């Protein structure tokens, strides 16, 4: 097993714009501030069915790569959508409905009133729409069902049938658009403008900044839980994160900077080489779009444009960027599924494992291990950001359906 990681082609760049300041800079407060974070964490903890997702120590893997500890935050059971994205899009839907109902009534209402369905008649007249690779759309569809509005989701040619069906199962109308992700974004915006629908996007762009802030604030629930779950609450020394449009990395980075200041861990973002917009942007010290010509199997990370808000945070707060091809995805999913010696098997989707895959590759490649400062004292936090969000793709890569793994 070691050989595939040792020989993997993983590219690394250290962030030349990293800001080592102890105090959280005021301009970043405008992207993700403490009031926004606390409101999101308080509200999401009141949602029906909320409970922290598990944090598993991967002792056997930590031993094999000679680091002190690896903690894997397993988002596979995060509410019904089964990914960390459930914390973002659905929360933005709730905030949007609060704003819309308040506007229509001419007075401010609370999130609790949206949550308990007090204005169900008004919310049922609202339609939210988004373009998606899968997980964000699933979260928006689930949020729309939960908070009582209609939902239209735009998917592109490469989104799997399984992921389409999952969104439909939450009651969303799903429209498949010829072309790629960018074409689905364009179509969603056109149709929303024509029909008076509200776009709920996880990425920000000129003129669209409010809801993506709520999305990022929602994601911070995951890191807050993880810090509380690590034994003795010792801070991790480094965190590996998957990167798509950068919202996840920005949320984790902003929270850690505010919570831990100078003791914040080293942050390492991992992307597919086919869609490495964060890596390319950091290399150029400005936002760079990547034209995706080949889809990665890491479907959730197949994103060619960095979110404007996320970029503001990521360029200051993330230490390192890695990119890699798809070769390590199947082996890493299988490694988690076949955990032995009394440890719980972990069901992780294709976009959940790049962080762990990159950690293994980096640990076994001497130059990279040194460059990332990995050593016997390293305590590594990893986010398993999704479960088997397409069971058939999971079976093709792992050799068993997710239910068979969990039953073992």
Ligand X SMILES: Cc1ncc(COP(=O)(O)O)c(C=O)c1O
17-23 CB contacts, 8 Å cutoff, 24+ apart: 17/282, 17/285, 17/315, 17/316, 18/316, 18/317, 18/318, 18/319, 19/316, 19/317, 22/261, 22/262, 23/261
Query: Looking only at residues 24 through 83 of this chain, which bind ligand X when binding is defined by CB under 6 A?
Result: 83
Candidates 236, 246, 272, 304: give the one binding ligand X (CB under 6 A).
Answer: 246
DSSP state letters, 218-264 = HHHHHHHHHHHHSGGGPPPSEEEEE-SSSHHHHHHHHHHHHHHGGGP
Build a one-symbol-per-residue string for 292-321: x at contacts with ligand X by CB under 6 A, - elsewhere. Answer: --------xx-x------------------
Q: Which two tokens stand for residue 244?
A: 């798509």
- For residue 134, the minimal CB distance to ligand X (Å) is 7
85 has catalytic annotation: yes
Using the minimum distance from each CB to ligand X, give the nearer residue, 218 or 300: 300
Candidates 351, 363, 365, 378: give the one binding ligand X (CB under 6 A).
Answer: 351
Instruction: Determine the Cα–Cα distance for residues 363 and 65; give it in Å rounded to an integer.
Output: 6
Active-site residue (options: 133, 202, 320, 390): 133
98 has catalytic annotation: no
Build a one-symbol-per-residue string for 105-134: x at contacts with ligand X by CB under 6 A, - elsewhere. Answer: ----------------------------x-
To 10 degrees, the CA torsion angle through 46, 50, 54, 55? -30
Q: Which two tokens stand for residue 204?
A: 């920000």
CA-to-CA dists, residue 201 to 89, 140, 205, 303, 386, angstroms = 7, 9, 10, 13, 19
Instruction: Determine the Cα–Cα distance for residues 381 and 142; give it in Å rounded to an integer.
Output: 28
Q: Using the rule CB under 6 A, is 272 a contact of ligand X? A: no
Binding residues with ligand X: total (CB under 6 A): 21
Build a one-symbol-per-residue string for 369-398: x at contacts with ligand X by CB under 6 A, - elsewhere. Answer: ----------------xx------------
Mark the segment that binds ligand X (CB under 6 A) among 48-56, 110-118, 192-200, 244-252: 244-252
Q: Using the rule CB under 6 A, is 247 a contact of ligand X? A: yes
Build a one-symbol-per-residue string for 190-209: x at contacts with ligand X by CB under 6 A, - elsewhere. Answer: ------------x-------
**Which residues lie near ligand X (CB under 6 A)?**
83, 85, 133, 135-136, 202, 242-249, 300-301, 303, 351-352, 385-386
Give catalytic residue positions.
Answer: 85, 133
């Amino acid at each position: 097993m070691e050989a595939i990681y040792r020989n993997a082609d993983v590219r690394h760049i250290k962030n030349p714009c990293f800001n080592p300041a102890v105090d959280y800079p005021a301009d970043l407060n405008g992207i993700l501030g403490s009031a926004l974070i606390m409101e999101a964490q308080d509200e999401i903890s009141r949602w029906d069915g909320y409970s922290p997702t598990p944090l598993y120590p991967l002792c056997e893997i930590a031993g094999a790569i000679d680091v002190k500890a690896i903690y894997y935050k397993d988002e596979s059971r995060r509410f019904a959508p089964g990914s960390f994205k459930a914390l973002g899009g659905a929360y933005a839907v709730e905030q949007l409905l609060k704003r819309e109902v308040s506007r229509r009534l001419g007075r401010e209402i609370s999130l609790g009133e949206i949550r308990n369905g007090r204005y169900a008649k008004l919310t049922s007249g609202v339609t939210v729409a988004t373009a998606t690779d899968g997980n964000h759309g699933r979260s928006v569809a689930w949020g729309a069902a939960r908070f009582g509005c209609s939902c239209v989701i735009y998917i592109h040619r490469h989104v799997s049938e399984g992921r389409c069906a999952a969104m439909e199962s939450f009651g969303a109308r799903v429209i498949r658009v010829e072309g790629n992700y960018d074409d689905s974004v364009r179509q969603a915006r056109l149709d929303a403008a024509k029909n008076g629908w509200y776009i709920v996007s996880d990425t920000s762009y000129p003129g669209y900044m409010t809801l993506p802030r709520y999305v990022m604030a929602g994601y911070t629930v995951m890191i807050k839980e993880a810090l509380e779950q690590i034994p003795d609450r010792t801070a991790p020394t480094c965190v590996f994160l998957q990167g798509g449009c950068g919202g996840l990395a920005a949320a984790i980075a902003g929270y850690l900077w505010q919570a831990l200041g100078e003791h914040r861990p080293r942050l390492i973002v991992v992307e597919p080489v086919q869609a490495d917009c964060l890596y390319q942007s950091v290399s150029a010290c400005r936002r760079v779009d990547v034209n995706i010509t080949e889809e990665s199997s890491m479907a959730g990370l197949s994103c060619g444009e960095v979110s404007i808000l996320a970029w503001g945070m990521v360029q200051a707060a993330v230490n390192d960027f890695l990119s890699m091809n798809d070769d390590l995805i199947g082996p890493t999913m299988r490694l988690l599924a076949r955990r032995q010696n009394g440890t719980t098997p972990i069901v992780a989707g294709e976009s959940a494992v790049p962080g762990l895959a990159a950690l293994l590759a980096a640990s076994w490649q001497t130059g990279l291990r040194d460059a990332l400062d990995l050593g016997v004292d390293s305590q590594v936090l990893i986010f398993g950001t999704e479960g088997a969000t397409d069971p058939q793709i999971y079976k093709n890569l792992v050799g068993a359906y997710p239910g068979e793994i969990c039953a073992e």
